[in-house]
Amino acid sequence: MIGDFVVHATAGAARHATFSTAHGEVATPCFMPVGTLADVKLLEPRDLHELNARIVLANTYHLWLRPGRETLVAAGGLHRFMAWDGPILTDSGGYQVFSLESRREIDDDGVTFRSHLDGSKHRFTPENVVAFQEDLGVDVAMAFDECVKLPSSRKDVERAVTRTTAWAQRCAAAWRRGPTMLFGIVQGGLDEDLRAQSSAELVALDLPGYAIGGLSVGESRAEMDRVARFTAALLPANKPRYLMGVGTVRDLVAGIDRGIDLFDCVYPTRSGRHGRALTRSGIEYNVRNAGCVRDFGPLDPACDCRVCATYTKAYIAHLFRSGELLAQRLISYHNVAALTSLVRDARAAIDGGRWKAFRDALLASASP
């Protein structure tokens, strides 16, 4: 049933679970590739299926502006529009509109902002952001939240927590409780008492899942780790926990260890477009390195993806040096494979009682 979250095995806070959506089951821990504009850059849905990327992210702010609600509804929803039949999670656009800074005005009812594309004026409210995501037919809609940059004053963080709770309540009231699930987003900056307050107020709404927001926005990795660990423990054990905007191999492993189930990040595709390849041991290297030119092995000998089975590092390095966009596609493909394999192996390690050894090996080898 939609929203079911069944835990199969645990290792400390880490757990292997299955999360049910209207477009199928998602094994967690899970890494979700980012498809902001209704595509994961340079990859097709067929690629994503091959990569075992079970659920993808898209973004309310960007899709609201282009192609817009009418086109997406006329297309038959976001799944049909982007030709992806697996689950989709959309971010609420909160993070994006708050990033607009001079182009937006916040009031207690919502946010008025100008499009970064053409300067046109738009307004987000908790109600219309939830309705938009439901109209698109996505599997998981995120509540509209206020995300503050770090560092911020205690007063600003307090205000964001209060507003995020009030808006989450309005999102929950507006939510149609159909096939689209609604997740809450915990804010609270780096203050444990504010994180505790935000968590408690959102958990009271009994939503199908909860995200930890407001991290990976300027703080140190140690601070992020402390707050994510603290907050994850306050979220219900019987619902998925999602750490937004994270991350690298190191961050994924640390997150899984704290009991996080879902992750998203542009990291593998953005790195790929910049010629940086990831290995299964979490090491990142640039294919521009001189050593790649005559290396006729794959991007990562430990990888079982189609790109590693087909192409050599020398070939991809040649394409990248030559400015051929195909290189960006091939490295992006492999990098997503690196993270979807990582979470697959993490699930197996949790099942097999090997989680701690698996975690420690990766934390020892992964790039900082």
Residues designated catalytic: 91, 264
In angstroms, give the least distance from the CB of 206 to a second copy.
36
Distance in angstroms (rounded) separating the CA atoms of residues 368 and 361: 14
Q: How far is the CB of 54 from a second copy (least distance, A)?
A: 19
Q: What single DSSP character describes residue 101?
A: G
Cβ-based nearer residue to a second copy, 78 or 362: 78
Residue nearer to a second copy on the CB measure, 102 or 120: 120
Least distance CB 245 / a second copy (angstroms) = 20
260 vs 186: CA distance, rounded Å? 13
Tell me how far apart the alpha carbons of residues 209 and 243 are, in angstroms, rounded to a whole number: 11
Supply the angle between the helices 249-257 and 221-232 in degrees, to the nearest 10. Answer: 30
DSSP-assigned beta bridge partners for residue 274: none
To a second copy, the closest distance from the beta carbon of 314 in angstroms equals 6
Whether the CB-CB separation of 101 and 141 falls below 8 Å is answered with no
Residues within the annotated binding site for Zn(2+)? 303, 305, 308, 334
Residues 141, 181 contacting (CB under 8 angstroms): yes
**Pairing between β-strand 262-265 and β-strand 30-33 as defined by DSSP bridges:** parallel
Enumerate the β-bridge partners of residue 16: 9
Residue among 248, 241, 204, 218 nearest 363 (CA):
248
Q: Known binding site: residues?
A: 91-95, 145, 187, 214, 303, 305, 308, 334
Tell me whether residue 62 or residue 195 sits nearer to a second copy (CB atom): 62
Task: Give the interface with a second copy as residue ranges (CB under 8 A).
Answer: 37-39, 41-46, 66-67, 71, 74-76, 81-83, 293-294, 296, 310-312, 314-315, 318-319, 321-322, 324-326, 328-330
3 state SS of 363: helix
- For a second copy, the closer of residues 164 and 328 by Cβ is 328
Q: Which residues are annotated as a binding site for substrate?
A: 91-95, 145, 187, 214
Task: Please state, as a whole number, how many other Cβ atoms lie within 10 Å of the Cβ of residue 128.
Answer: 18
The Cα 363–Cα 254 span in angstroms is: 8
Nearer to a second copy, 42 or 237 (CB): 42
Least distance to a second copy, CB of residue 246, Å: 24
